[in-house]
Amino acid sequence: MPRLGKFVFSFVLFVIVCYGGLVWFVNHEVEKGFNEAVAGVDGLKVAYDDIWVSITDQTVTLTAVDATLPDGQQMAAKEIVVHAFDERNPVPHFIRAQVKGMQYAPTQMGGALALGSAMFGLERLNGDMYVDYRYDTNANSLTLNNFSFDDQKIGKLELSGTMTDLDLDQFRMEKLVGLRIANAELTFMNRSFFSTFMQRAAETMRIPEAQATEELISELNKQAQMAGNSDNKVAENALLGLKDFVADPGSIVISATPAEPVPYLYLFMGRDVYENMRLMNLTVKAAPAQGVQ
């Protein structure tokens, strides 16, 4: 082999060895740091088969994850991929991550939440989750670019929005009193969720499911008419949009675009529900089931 060829071959081997060593070092350090971080949270336990980091984009991946949260709740996932994560602040200012094959039982929450999840047929969730948010320190605002959960059996939920008057750097629950909603949008693509809900509602009312659906449609029509009689077109149109979804539960988009950020406590101060809809400038748009996957 010519000297130049030997040099090139040797250099390539050198690069491969260096790269392999770098990958090993980075992955070892990431695993060490991750385990130390988990150990630093009381009650949190995480087991996994493997963890590695991509040198090119710094994506961290964990496989076959089983976790016990600090409150005792359990969840599992086939894979967790962290694309971006703020390590500099106790409460991260940004996260972009996805969970593939997540398994979680909402009934673990107990109380009214457990009863509600059972009523809605959500005893067990099995799907893919994605979260992407960023906090603006100067504006004290948090923008949820996307939160989604896709369960092939139940349906797909997507949520986005912006909240203001939020201080993540000195975060305490009592400070949420001043939290304001600047905008929000919820999209839901129904699969079996709504039919399960109506079946269980009909069983509770001891009437056929078709009758329960007809009564709900009739009630929403009445509520829309009352809102219209009160000269509240926002509430009237929102209720009619909800009625359209009940009649043909395909997909629904609920948007809130208030003229200015609204303190979230306003929604729990005994205000008229129609006025809350007008205050939030709520719109509801439904699409038929045909084509929803």
One DSSP character per residue, the chain reads --HHHHHHHHHHHHHHHHHHHHHHHHHHHHHHHHHHHHHTSTT-EEE-SEEEE-TTT--EEEEEEEEE-TTS-EEEEEEEEEEEE--SSSS-SEEEEEEEEEEE-GGGG-HHHHHHHHHTT-S-EEEEEEEEEEEETTTTEEEEEEEEEEETTTEEEEEEEEEES--STT--GGGGGG-EEEEEEEEEEESSHHHHHHHHHHHHHTS-HHHHHHHHHHHHHHHHHHHHHTT-HHHHHHHHHHHHHHHS-SEEEEEE--SS-EEGGGGGSS--HHHHHHHTTEEEEEE-STT--
pLDDT at 265: 85
Instruction: Give 114's contacts (C-beta < 8 A, 6+ positions apart).
Output: 106, 107, 108
Query: What domain count does the chain have?
Result: 1
pLDDT at 113: 65
In a domain, 273, yes or no: yes
For helices 111-119 and 193-205, the axis angle rounded to 10 degrees is 100
In a domain, 75, yes or no: yes
Instruction: Give 277's contacts (C-beta < 8 A, 6+ positions apart).
Output: 227, 232, 234, 235, 238
Residue-wise pLDDT for 32-51, tens only, equals: 777 777 777 778 788 889 88
In a domain, 18, yes or no: no
**Burial class of residue 292, CB neighbours in 10 A (0-12, 13-18, 19+):** middle
pLDDT at 75: 86
CA pair distance 200, 286, nearest whole angstrom? 23
Q: Amino acid identity, residue 288?
A: P
Instruction: Extract the tokens encoding 70.
Output: 């600090």
- Residue 140: left (phi > 0), alpha (psi -120 to 50), or beta? left
In a domain, 104, yes or no: yes
64 in Cβ contact with 34 (< 8 Å): no
pLDDT at 290: 62
Instruction: Extract the tokens encoding 46.
Output: 């995480």
In a domain, 17, yes or no: no
Domain residue limits at 267: 47-287
CA neighbor of 238 nearest in space, from 276, 289, 285? 285
In a domain, 207, yes or no: yes
Phi (first) and psi of residue 24, to 5 degrees? -60, -45
Residue ranges of the chain with per-residue pLDDT less than 50: 1, 4-24, 292
**Burial class of residue 238, CB neighbours in 10 A (0-12, 13-18, 19+):** buried
pLDDT at 169: 84
In a domain, 234, yes or no: yes
132 in Cβ contact with 98 (< 8 Å): no
In a domain, 13, yes or no: no
